[in-house]
Structure 1
Amino acid sequence: MLHINKDVTLELLSLSHRDELFALVDANREYLRAWLPWLDGNTSPADTEEFIKAVILQYEAGMGPQYAIFHRSDLCGVCGFHEIDCRNRVGSIGYWISQEHSGKGIMTQSVKTLIDIGFTQYKLNRIEMRCAVENHKSRAIPERLGFQLEGVLRQKENLYGEFVDLASYSLLASEYVLSE
């Protein structure tokens, strides 16, 4: 368990999170659907279990952790590495948070911890984040954390039949300052 501050902790995703995580996704389905393309593929606790099993295998293979985010003991979201390209020492971070917990700085602090892990434990040279151009809340996180906007990937993601542009951000190890 990683203690971010007195209210926020991160726990490696495990099968023990299955039911609570599915319930959180289900309760926030319409809110999350605005920007996340995977909701139609997660319609039961069994789907959530398959996701968790996949991220456990990813972590065990040295390809980066995925964390359950807790605010005052309430599961409120997920953040982690989508993938790590070991050869090129590049990691890609993704995240989501419940509507109730959005806008409280929880995700920014959680992602900052992921960045620390990426540069110190995984010895990455580059960390990337991609957000839908119109998803201003999500884009604020890499911008707040000093990432550089590298450009826009046109019609990069199929969001329920509509192709959306993604803003592509990066932070290099040479630009990184360890969190206090």
Structure 2
Amino acid sequence: MFLHKINADLSLKLIQLNDADRVFELTEESRSYLREWLPWLDTTTKVKDTKDYIKFCLKGFSENNSLTTVILFKGEIVGVASFNSINWSNKTAYIGYWLGHAYQGNGIMINVVRALTDYAFQELQLNKVEVRAALGNKKSRSIPEKLQYTEEGCIRKAEWLYDHYVDHVVYGVLAEEWTR
């Protein structure tokens, strides 16, 4: 099983079925907050939906093309972070993340994305890591910006959010840039 300690208070653990109740509870607590930028809230209405998502994540992990973790802050699940996909032929990983509303402002996500980026380059020997975020999602965009990822462009109407499309800003960092 994957367990990655970031610091004394913060770890990443491979998501498991027994995490479903807490992940769903966290989703419920932050539903209106998360719904502004995440497209899956209306289809996640019961614990079974979260369990189905976790099964999908575990299948991706077993096939070695993704890694979905729960974020543990002081031993409590506070969010989810993942390599949504890993493209082995191009040696590229795509990071996605969300954090419960009550846990914002603790420096959690910047440390998580930094740790995933380190892991991608040091352990997985990848060449590039990308983060995509909606143009208007300033909090999410601030993470790769603070980590000095390069803004590579904008994908117009990249994602349907309930009743409208949003553009995505693409950020990337290369292994040789990260190690410097």
Instruction: Tell me the TM-score range normalised by the shorter chain.
Output: over 0.9
Residues 101-150 of structure 1: per-residue CA shift (max 9 Å, x gap) = 11211011011111111112222111111001111110010011110001
Residues 5-26 of structure 1: per-residue CA shift (max 9 Å, x gap) = 1211211100110111111101
Aligned-pair identity in percent equals 38
The equivalent residue for 2:103 is 101
The equivalent residue for 1:140 is 142
The equivalent residue for 1:62 is 64
Aligned residues: 178
Quote the Cα distance in structure 2 between the aligned partners of 1:108 and 1:76: 14
- Unaligned runs of at least 5 residues, structure 1: none
Instruction: Judge which range, 56-65 or 43-52, deviates more.
Output: 56-65
* RMSD after superposition: 1.2
Match of 1:27 among 12, 18, 29: 29
> Shift of residue 177 of structure 1?
2.3
Residues 5-59 of structure 1: per-residue CA shift (max 9 Å, x gap) = 1211211100110111111101110000010011112111111011111111111
Match of 2:41 among 33, 39, 42: 39
> Shift of residue 164 of structure 1?
0.7
TM-score by length of 1: 0.95
Quote the Cα distance in structure 2 between the aligned partners of 1:28 and 1:108: 19
Quote the Cα distance in structure 2 between the aligned partners of 1:11 and 1:85: 21
Quote the Cα distance in structure 1 between the aligned partners of 2:154 and 2:113: 21
